[in-house]
Amino acid sequence: MANPIPDDFLRGVFCAGEGETCALARKIVPLVGERLVLSLEGPLGAGKTCFVQGLAEGAGIDRSLVASPTFPLVHEYPGGRLPFSHLDLYRLESVEDLVPLGFDEYVHAPGICAIEWGDRFPEALPRGTWRIRFSMEPAGRLVTATLHA
């Protein structure tokens, strides 16, 4: 069963800065059932990693531990109220590159799985993934969500 997306996400939420982006992400954590997979999509510098920091903080993990996993590709953050994994697909070339990462295990495990650049391989996203899109605006960013069917 998919986690319901709050109406404000479906309409779009404007975030003027990092603090508001983190606060928005923290609001998601109480909505997590057994698991929640999020595909974070948008241009470089749009706030994807900042959003993950807010998710981590909401899950009881020190947000300063969260960095973009661009080079290691996967980070796991233990010690929170929920299992938490963070993947970055930016440097991958094909859907076959997901296999050695253990992608299927991460997206089907309990807890939160946040995937930066998940839109590079939408065919690999499980049904029920929240596709969170970040678009840059002159005074901040607009964050919207849809449910991946």
- Number of C-alpha atoms within 13 angstroms, CB side, residue 28? 32
Q: What are phi and psi of 53, to 5 degrees?
A: -60, -40
Task: Strands of 2-41 (E only): list them.
Answer: 13-15, 35-41
Better pLDDT: 29 or 68: 29
Which residues 6+ apart lie within 8 Å of 146 measured at CB?
5, 10, 130, 131, 133
**Least confident stretch, 12-16, 36-40, 62-66, 143-147:** 62-66
Domains of the chain: 9-147 (3.40.50.300)
Q: What is the mean pLDDT of residues 112-121?
A: 96
Q: Give me the pLDDT at residue 1, please.
A: 47
Look at strands 130-137 and 35-41 and give their pairing: parallel
